[in-house]
Amino acid sequence: MANETTDSKPTEIETVKSRLVELLPGVALEWSEFRGQTRVVFASGELLRCLNAFKAAGFDQLTDLTAVDLLEYGNVDDRFEVVYCLLNVDSGLRLIAKTHLNEPDLTIPSATSVWFGADWLEREVYDMYGIIFAGHPNFKRLLLPDDFQSFPLRKDYPVKGRGERHNFPIVTRAES
Amino acid sequence: MPLELLDSPDLDENKREGLWTLNFGPQHPATHTTLRLVLQLDGEMVIDAEPDIGFLHSGFEKLGEVLDFNQYVTIVDRMNYVSPMANEIAWHHAVEKLLGIELTPRCKYIRTIFAELMRLHDHLLCLGTCVLDLGGATAFMYAFNERETIYEICERASGQRFHTSYTRVGGLLYDVTDDWVKMVKDFVRNFPRVYRDFSGMVMKNRIFVERTRDVGVLSREEAIAGGATGPTARASGVARDLRRDEPYLAYDDFDFDVCASQGGDCYARFQVRMMEMVESVKIIEQALDKLPKGPVFAGDAGKAGMPDKKEVYRSIEGLIHHFESVMPNRQMAGPKESIYAATESPNGELGYYIVGDGSFRAYRARTRPPSVLHFALFSKLIRGCMLSDVAAVLGSINIIAAELDR
């Protein structure tokens, strides 16, 4: 069973690659591989076109959507990396698609129109990194309070916080 | 009550007059932990639900960037605390994939046994507490009695009942003893009898069946596009199980079935969980029979592997080895790469996206918790159901708020 999948996967990914090149004429796709996992990097300007092409190429599930702050990573020019982990449910093929963003323009189109499962994942990325997903149906913070000022998973935010916890307003029963 | 409300939950503004809003949680017995729902109701019918989460947010992912690969295991434990060791196994599975460490057969088998015990642990809680929420206290006691035995098994192996922190990069905290093997064997021998009683009490209980059948239906298309995994997706006809489709640990060596159903309702989700328990017991039995001898730490783990405590205290080589595995400036260097690796946790696909920066800690440790994607589907599932169905639907997707909020 395991041998079967490892044998068939390289050819499968090759087909997907050529299909994507067909679907995305003129878009620069930068492929790489690490421990059998295929990654592709594309420009954030082509985001929605690329995501739709990925879906057309068979990736019908958005497994995960996250971001990385590359501020202290070293040897990189970009500030943020947005990561889409995609899955073809029938064949089990995975693809990690990445795009880069830089300040001051941290707005990219929302993936909710492609996979509606992106809804909360995008809200969480906004909550933690301040990346704005344009066209999201219900765009606000997911985990932190709505009036929270910072984006805590950014590398310039200290692990100890900025005293939010100690300055949290306490509403007594009498005042409420 | 006008009948057309059933079919058209999206009412225009002037028809919304008769609706009322109910605040469900954050402290409510059926939420199990702290999560909040703002329900729009027409009489007792749920027109819309707005989940509000984040009450338990404690910045786990930020801590993952500060603690090293071995230290962070104490934090991942606390995500899905219903099956703590499943989180540990998933975390170290991703770390080992990033570092390129191949486990020893004995370690793989012990981790597999624990992963399946955790599946039983989680499913028993999910079913037991949901039955309790729906009004049946007896089955809950049966389930928790079995869970207690699993706690004892965890305690025997790791010294901790709850937050075991048992796995290490490339191995385990301690090897298991013959005593432990006997404990698991006794548990597995006893389990089918309990399962029979439990199954009879729950799955054939008319009240339970009527409260869960055709309630909270999730279609196959919605399950795929919404990112549902695990029992929730399998109950909607997505027959995908990472244990079979992307075999990790020792799952390749065992004979087991992937349980799926076409129903998509709460009953189907419980049914899949019930069937999975039988398969888990099958896997544990096979693993115990074939449990290999040998070390639990991989040879190629090198500096990453923790030496045996006896060696640390009695030889200078052991002490140096220990020093090199724990001191930040002496630790093993990881690759400057990123990886996504997932395991089939009891609730669904539990994945970690780790970005390494060349040190022994993660530059970014993203958790892909199944609960978040499942709970995002909640408002879809509950629309058109009754207020009392909220407990059934919440229970059937097994929302663990600590994993939701991290």
For residues A153-166, average pLDDT: 86
A116 touches chain B (CB under 8 A): yes
Spell out the domain ranges in chain A: 2-134
Report d(CA B404, CA B306) in Å as an integer.
32
Which is nearest to B78 in space by CA: B54, B59, B97?
B59
Alpha carbon distances (Å) from B386 to B41, B48, B143, B390: 9, 11, 27, 7
> What are B152-156's contacts with CB under 8 Å, separation 24+?
B152/B183, B153/B117, B153/B180, B153/B183, B153/B184, B153/B187, B154/B85, B154/B114, B154/B117, B156/B180, B156/B183
Contact (CB<8Å) A116/B226: yes
Burial of B207 (0-12, 13-18, 19+ CB in 10 A): exposed
Which chain B positions have a beta carbon within 8 Å of A2's beta carbon?
247, 252
Which among B339, B349, B366 is the nearest to A34, CB-wise? B339
Instruction: Name the residue in chain A with its Cα closest to that of B341.
Output: A37
* Cross-chain Cβ contact B373/A143 below 8 Å: no
Cβ–Cβ under 8 Å, residues A13 and A93:
yes
**Confidence at residue A5, expressed as pLDDT on a 0 to 100 scale:** 47
DSSP letter assigned to residue A151: -
Cβ within 8 Å of B, A 1-30: 1-2, 5
The answer to whether the beta carbons of residues B213 and B270 sit under 8 Å apart is no
* B78 touches B57 (CB < 8 A): no
Same domain? B343 vs B327: yes
Residue A140 contacts B where some CB pair is shorter than 8 Å: no
Radius of gyration over every alpha carbon of chain B, rounded to an integer in angstroms: 22
Compare all CA atoms of chain A with the CA of B337 and give the residue at the minimum distance: A34
Q: Do B227 and A94 touch (CB under 8 A)?
A: no
Beta strands A132-134 and B20-24: pairing type? unpaired
Token output for B324: 């090199």
Residue corresponding to tokens 């996250």 = A66
* Site from B219, B220, B238, B373 to mutate, A interface, most A CB atoms within 10 angstroms: B373
Q: Tokens in use for A146?
A: 């709505």
Question: How many other C-beta atoms are found inside a 10 Å radius of the C-beta of residue B186?
Answer: 12
Domain region containing B237: 60-405
Asked if the bond preceding A104 is cis, omega within 30° of 0, the reply is: yes
The pLDDT value given to residue B151? 92
Check CB contact under 8 Å for A35 and B100: yes
Q: Are residues B32 and B89 in the same domain?
A: no
Q: Do B66 and B46 share a structural domain?
A: no
Half-sphere exposure of B241 toward its Cβ, with a 13 Å CA cutoff?
20
| CA gap A123, A119 in Å, rounded | 7
B215 and B265 together in one domain:
yes
Same domain? For B177 and B68 the reply is yes
Closest CA to B260 of B282, B279, B240: B240
CA distance B234 to chain A (A): 12
CA gap B244, B251 in Å, rounded:
7
Q: Which pLDDT belongs to residue B296?
A: 82
Report pLDDT digits (tens) over A60-111: 899 999 999 998 888 888 889 999 999 998 888 899 999 998 888 889 999 9
Burial of B203 (0-12, 13-18, 19+ CB in 10 A): middle
Question: Are B9 and B130 within one domain?
Answer: no
Joined tokens for residue B292: 């290999």
Q: Which of B337, B355, B376 is facing A120, going by the closest CB pair?
A: B376
Q: Examine the domain organization and report whether B24 and B146 are in the same domain.
A: no
Q: What is the mean pLDDT of residues A11-29?
A: 82
Q: What one-letter code names the amino acid at A102?
A: N
Q: List CB contacts (< 8 A) between A4 and chain B.
A: none
Considering the domain architecture, whether residues B36 and B72 belong to the same structural domain is answered as: no
Is the same domain home to B266 and B234? Answer: yes
**Residue A9 or B310, more confident:** B310
Q: Sign of torsion, CA A51 A55 A58 A61? A: positive
Using CA coordinates, name the residue in chain A closest to B358. Answer: A73
Q: Which two tokens stand for residue B294?
A: 């040998």
In this prediction, does ipTM exceed 0.85?
yes
pLDDT given at position B14: 54
**How far is A62 from chain B, CA to nearest CA, in Å?**
6
We report the CATH number of the domain holding residue B306 as 1.10.645.10
CA distance A42 to A64: 17
pLDDT at B22: 87
Which residues are within 8 A (CB) of A4 and not within 5 positions of it... i.e. 6 or more apart?
none
pLDDT of residue B216: 86
Secondary structure letter of residue A73 according to DSSP: T
In the block, residue with structure tokens 């963003």: A101
- For A113, nearest residue in chain B (alpha carbons): B225
**Distance (Å) from the C-alpha of residue A12 to the closest C-alpha of chain B?**
15
How far apart are alpha carbons B60 and B91 in whole angstroms? 13
Rounded Cα–Cα distance for residues A148 and A141 (Å): 9
CB B169 within 8 A of CB B92: yes
Q: Which residues contact B70 (CB under 8 A, 6 or more apart)?
A: B168, B169, B306, B325, B326
Query: Which superfamily does A2-134 belong to?
Result: NADH:ubiquinone oxidoreductase Nqo5 subunit (3.30.460.80)
- pLDDT for B182 equals 92
B48 and B74 part of one domain: no
- Interchain CB contact of A63 with B (< 8 Å): yes
Q: In this complex, which of A62, A142, A152 lies closest to B59 when CB atoms are compared?
A: A152
**Structure tokens given for A113:** 């129109």
Cα dihedral B181, B183, B189, B192 in deg (nearest 10) = -120
Q: Do B240 and A89 touch (CB under 8 A)?
A: yes
Query: In angstroms, what separates the C-alpha of A27 from chain B's closest C-alpha?
Result: 24
Give yes or no: residues B220 and B321 share one domain. Answer: yes
Residue whose C-alpha is closest to residue A21's, from A6, A5, A42: A42
Number of domains within chain B: 2
Q: What is the pLDDT of residue A9?
A: 54
Segments in chain B below pLDDT 70: 1-17, 299-302
Distance CA B362, CA B206 (A): 50
Q: Is pLDDT at A1 greater than 60 in this prediction?
A: no
| CB A99 within 8 Å of CB A42 | yes
- For residue B271, give every residue at least 6 positions away whose Cβ sits within 8 Å of its Cβ, in sequence order, or none: B203, B235, B261, B263
Q: Which residues of A touch B364 (CB under 8 A)?
A: 66, 68-69
- Region at B77 (left for phi over 0; alpha for psi -120 to 50; beta for the rest): alpha
